[in-house]
Structure 1
Amino acid sequence: MKAAYDPSGRQVVLIVDDAPESLTQLYGLLKDQYRVLVANGGERAMQIAAGDPLPDLVLLDVMMPGMGGFEVCRRLKAYPRTADIPVIFLTAMGENEDEQQGFDVGAADYIVKPVSPPIVLARVRTHLRAKAASDFLEDKAAFLQSEVERRSRELQLSQDAAIVALASLAETRDQETGNHIRRTQNYVRQLAIQLRHHPRFREQLDEATIDMLYKSAPLHDIGKVGIPDHILLKPGKLTPEEFEIMKTHTTLGRDAIATAEKILDAPSSFLRFAREIAYGHQEKWDGSGYPQGLAGEAIPLSARLMAVADVYDALISRRVYKDPMAHALAVDLIREGSGRHFDPDIVAAFLQIADQFHAIAERYADDGEA
């Protein structure tokens, strides 16, 4: 961990020794170049290390009464706040096993007593330079990570704004309301959450995918911006010729989103699910839907989820050409469509959470229908 900021701007060295003459000698040697803290025992050293400023380096005597140097080093290395502080042991012992024990508990180096001033200055300077370089790299890595996170947030906001803008464009031309968009995207999310542990779907429905399905669902009818007003806004039943034109909203939506993907040069971009939903949400499980007449699992999962959400909302919503249907009757019709219009497993999930659909519908009810 990087040392706390010292107002003097100098690096901080903590000297730990029970011998007053040793403390005096080392303090005098280092005080002109560094901020020097002193402790006459292990317990006091731990108190200083727990405060501010955090030492950049510790010169630590091995043989001290009470808490010895090896135990002090072991504790410093055990705490995340002090684990990265280099420790140089001061010892009059030269046995290999003692040196090995010091390295085993985390020491960076040894200086043998009686100390040689040039050796002390050189070793301290070397380890402080290494610590400063390590702190610099740590700061740089943290900065780069924060920049990546910031740019990711900005990109996510841009993506969300693009979807909202496109969905709002569709709203301006269609008689369906913004609440329809909010309802259907919440239906899709709840269905996906219900299915995320299902053996057929768990590999596809991770948290990130569910989030993208929720955000992409509002674009399911974006292609309607290309349908002439006399057809899109017609209050009565469409003629067969008019219905054929209306059906092209799926292809128009796919093409518009595909064009955006091409500009982004990202065929697997965040718009992928929006493209699948726009193109495939009118397909039916038995192959009788449009525009491609896909059947079964050839229909993208995103579009199969959207089909249930869109049909349910159409059934319970008021239109100029029909009254809203009661929730219970809409549920029965969805059930009847299992295996024909809809994926049976998705219908089964819908039936398990039908009350949640009803709650979403009430929460985002159109004006006058709450």
Structure 2
Amino acid sequence: MALILAIDDSATDLSMIQYILTNHEVILARNGEEGLQELDIHPKVDLILLDLHMPVMDGFTFLDICHDRNLDTPIIILTNSEEIDKEIRGLEKGAVDFIRKPLNFKALQMRIDVQLRLKQSTELIKEHNRQLEELIEKRTQTIRRTNEITINALVRLLEVRNIETSHHARRTKVMMELLCRQLQKQGLAGYQLSDKEINELVDTAPLHDIGKVGIPDNILLKPGRLDPDEITIMREHVNKGIEALDYSIESEETKISFIETARELIASHHEWYDGSGYPANIQGQAIPLAGRLMAVIDVYDALTSKRVYKEKIEHNEAIEVMKQESPRHFDPIVFAAFLAVVPQIRKRLEES
């Protein structure tokens, strides 16, 4: 049994509708205004039968209000045989079908049955989609948690060798998230980031120097400047990082998104905007956005953190150093976004 709202100023037509639809529960209203009041009382109406010519509020106004309310209840309009133009207008305003007066018992029953079946099918599809979305969300959370565990395990390799600390991983994640959200808010062409892309960048940011686990201690932990040969060896950490995340694929479709993000970030975060970086000497927009983001974050963290080969410097001094080398080193859009969120970065890092 369905709940049907019949809106018509003709008492005769309303009585006939009630008589014809004895197998359903029928609510009656004499104009559009009463119809809206009944909808407020009975929000789960399954179907509406709507006359167009009524006092107080006609059917067209009722349709407009239903549209504004995003009402998805199917509406069948009732028209006279000569009102073809009004039938079209009603359908354009959201009605799903029309029935001409005088009402025909069989036609009314069949039209209503069709719409009720369609509504039921639509609701089943919506429920199925809702369940699928829940399942996808659960699996997405599981995958992200698995990725996080994998990344943490790799980052611990750096900690074991005293190359970095867990604080470094935390700092890079905080900075990456705030920087990405700033770019997302700006919405500039070429810098748009989806939530999924931001999550992957944030999760994989701590892996940018994972290749350092393959660099000998006498170079990696040297407390002074590296000589040219040592610099060449040190720079190999980029390729070693890419190789560490290598995996075989049968086609483009089998690529693992977060691994690809990590590999891209690792491969390009030492590239300079003017092309003087390494390992590929690419420049400008040819550098993947992941690398341009990480370049700014990595330099700021390196300047403001104590390393085996240097003492840390204060925030204001670090920003001045970065501003001086910005034209050569950093994407100007990314660097401007970074400067905009630096106060938030400092606050988050101090709180955590």
TM tier, smaller: 0.7 to 0.9
Of 166, 171, 189 in structure 2, the residue corresponding to residue 183 of structure 1 is: 171
| Structure with higher helix content | 2
Of 171, 191, 195 in structure 2, the residue corresponding to residue 205 of structure 1 is: 191
Judging changes above 3 Å, is the alpha-carbon distance between structure 1 residues 238 and 104 closer, same or farther for their aligned structure 2 residues? closer
Q: Read off the aligned partner of 2:240 and give its amino acid letter.
A: L
Of 104, 115, 118 in structure 1, the residue corresponding to residue 89 of structure 2 is: 104
Larger radius of gyration: 1
* Kept in 2: contact 1:221–1:250 (CA 8 A): yes
Asked if residue 222 in structure 1 is aligned to residue 210 in structure 2, the reply is yes
Of 25, 31, 48 in structure 1, the residue corresponding to residue 38 of structure 2 is: 48
Of 172, 175, 183 in structure 1, the residue corresponding to residue 160 of structure 2 is: 172
- Equivalences for 1:295-334 in 2 at 5 Å? 296-297=283-284, 300-334=288-322
Q: How far off its partner does 1:222 sit?
A: 0.8
* Kept in 2: contact 1:56–1:86 (CA 8 A): no
Q: How far off its partner does 1:82 sit?
A: 4.0
* Kept in 1: contact 2:296–2:335 (CA 8 A): no
Q: How far off its partner does 1:13 sit?
A: 2.1
Q: Which residue of 2 aligns with 1:7?
A: none
Judging changes above 3 Å, is the alpha-carbon distance between structure 1 residues 170 and 12 closer, same or farther for their aligned structure 2 residues? same
Asked if residue 58 in structure 1 is aligned to residue 48 in structure 2, the reply is yes
Q: Which residue of 2 aligns with 1:253?
A: 241
Of 61, 66, 70 in structure 1, the residue corresponding to residue 59 of structure 2 is: 70
SS of 2:247 mapped into structure 1: helix
Q: Read off the aligned partner of 2:306 and give its amino acid letter.
A: R
Q: How far off its partner does 1:366 sit?
A: 12
Asked if residue 13 in structure 1 is aligned to residue 4 in structure 2, the reply is yes
Listed one character per residue, the Cα deviations across residues 210-238 of structure 1 (whole Å, up to 9, x for unaligned) are 66444432111111223345554455666
Judging changes above 3 Å, is the alpha-carbon distance between structure 1 residues 165 and 204 closer, same or farther for their aligned structure 2 residues? farther
Measure, in 2, the Cα distance between the counterparts of 1:129 and 1:62.
24
SS of 1:180 mapped into structure 2: helix
Measure, in 2, the Cα distance between the counterparts of 1:363 and 1:135.
44
Q: How many equivalent pairs are there? A: 345
Measure, in 2, the Cα distance between the counterparts of 1:260 and 1:174.
31
Measure, in 2, the Cα distance between the counterparts of 1:357 and 1:219.
22
Q: How far off its partner does 1:260 sit?
A: 7.7
What RMSD over aligned residues (CA atoms) do the two structures have, in Å? Answer: 4.5
Judging changes above 3 Å, is the alpha-carbon distance between structure 1 residues 120 and 229 closer, same or farther for their aligned structure 2 residues? same
Q: Read off the aligned partner of 2:117 and give its amino acid letter.
A: R
Listed one character per residue, the Cα deviations across residues 59-107 of structure 1 (whole Å, up to 9, x for unaligned) are 445665x347635753565354545423242x6x54x1x3542442245
Q: Which residue of 2 aligns with 1:5?
A: none
Judging changes above 3 Å, is the alpha-carbon distance between structure 1 residues 311 and 52 closer, same or farther for their aligned structure 2 residues? same
Measure, in 1, the Cα distance between the counterparts of 2:53 and 2:272.
82
Measure, in 1, the Cα distance between the counterparts of 2:213 and 2:351.
21
* Kept in 2: contact 1:17–1:40 (CA 8 A): yes
Task: Mark the runs of 5 or more structure 2 residues left unpaired by the alignment.
Answer: none
Measure, in 1, the Cα distance between the counterparts of 2:57 and 2:40.
18
* Kept in 2: contact 1:169–1:225 (CA 8 A): yes
Q: Which residue of 1 aligns with 2:76?
A: 87
Q: What TM-score comes out, normalization by structure 1 length? A: 0.70
* Kept in 2: contact 1:171–1:177 (CA 8 A): yes
SS of 2:26 mapped into structure 1: strand
* Kept in 1: contact 2:183–2:193 (CA 8 A): no
Task: Mark the runs of 5 or more structure 1 residues left unpaired by the alignment.
Answer: 1-9
* Kept in 2: contact 1:219–1:274 (CA 8 A): yes
Judging changes above 3 Å, is the alpha-carbon distance between structure 1 residues 347 and 127 closer, same or farther for their aligned structure 2 residues? closer
* Kept in 1: contact 2:219–2:226 (CA 8 A): yes
Q: How far off its partner does 1:309 sit?
A: 3.1
Q: What TM-score comes out, normalization by structure 2 length? A: 0.72
Listed one character per residue, the Cα deviations across residues 104-126 of structure 1 (whole Å, up to 9, x for unaligned) are 2245222433x554444344334
Judging changes above 3 Å, is the alpha-carbon distance between structure 1 residues 55 and 81 closer, same or farther for their aligned structure 2 residues? farther
